[in-house]
């Protein structure tokens, strides 16, 4: 069972490059210690999956986010819900949802795993989802 670290957002050219990455939503896998990351560090491996979600892996830890296209289509995110810590997920299970004024989108897990930690920041400040996206544009990653 792959261990995943999930980042619930699309990452962008961070306006303040030194800012710590607040975007990690949750992590799958027991015993993983959350590390700070900058946007660029996550660009190492990037795979896009069907529903405009991307996944990168680093040392057996997976990180999931949504594409720039998805966050633009959604518009200003006003509500973000994520699973509770400890939840076990199978591939394609719904792990959360994002809502804007006009639209709602469920988020589906691309892998199986367990959630060891969630990022409280997104629940309180869902607009962060729109603020960060890959510098080079997620479309180029395959």
Partner 1 sequence: MQRAVSVVAHLGFRLQAFSPDLCRPLSFAQDVLRRTPLYDFHLAHGGKMVAFAGWSLPVQYRDSHTDSHLHTRQHCSLFDVSHMLQVKGQISLFLPGRAGGILDDLIVTNTSEGHLYVVSNAGCWEKDLALMQDKVRELQNQGRDVGLEVLDNALLALQGPTAAQVLQAGVADDLRKLPFMTSAVMEVFGVSGCRVTRCGYTGEDGVEISVPAVGAVHLATALLENPEVKLAGLAARDSLRLEAGLCLYGNDIDEHTTPVEGSLSWTLGKRRRAAMDFPGAKVIVPQLKGKVQRRRVGLMCEGAPMRAHSPILNMEGTMIGTVTSGCPSPSLKKNVAMGYVPCEYSRPGTKLMVEVRRKQQMAVVSKMPFVPTNYYTLK
Binding site for partner 1 (CB under 8 A): 75-76, 78-79, 81, 97, 99-102, 104
Strand partners, 47: 55
- The residue (of 47 and 79) whose beta carbon lies closer to partner 1 is 79
Q: Which two tokens stand for residue 77?
A: 């995110």
Instruction: Supply the minimum distance, in Å, between the C-beta of residue 104 and partner 1.
Output: 7
- The residue (of 49 and 78) whose beta carbon lies closer to partner 1 is 78
Instruction: Supply the minimum distance, in Å, between the C-beta of residue 100 and partner 1.
Output: 7
- The residue (of 9 and 61) whose beta carbon lies closer to partner 1 is 9
Do residues 30 and 61 lie in contact, with contact meaning Cβ atoms separated by under 8 Å?
Answer: no
SS3 call for 94: strand
- The residue (of 99 and 114) whose beta carbon lies closer to partner 1 is 99
CA distances from 46 to 60, 76, 142 (A): 14, 25, 6
Instruction: Supply the minimum distance, in Å, between the C-beta of residue 121 and partner 1.
Output: 17
State the burial class of residue 54 (Cβ atoms within 10 Å of its Cβ: 0-12, 13-18, 19+).
buried
């Amino acid at each position: 069972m792959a261990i995943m670290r999930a980042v619930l957002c699309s990452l962008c050219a961070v306006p303040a490059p030194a800012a710590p990455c607040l975007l990690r939503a949750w992590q799958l896998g027991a015993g993983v210690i959350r590390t700070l990351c900058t946007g660029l560090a996550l660009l190492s491996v990037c795979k896009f999956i069907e529903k405009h979600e991307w996944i990168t892996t680093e040392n057996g830890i997976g990180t999931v986010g949504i594409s720039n296209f998805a966050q633009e289509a959604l518009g200003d995110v006003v509500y973000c819900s994520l699973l509770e810590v400890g939840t076990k997920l199978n591939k394609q299970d719904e792990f959360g949802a994002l809502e804007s004024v006009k639209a709602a989108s469920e988020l589906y897990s691309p892998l199986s795993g367990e959630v060891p930690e969630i990022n409280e920041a997104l629940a309180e400040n869902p607009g962060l989802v729109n603020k960060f996206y890959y510098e080079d544009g997620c479309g180029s990653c395959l």
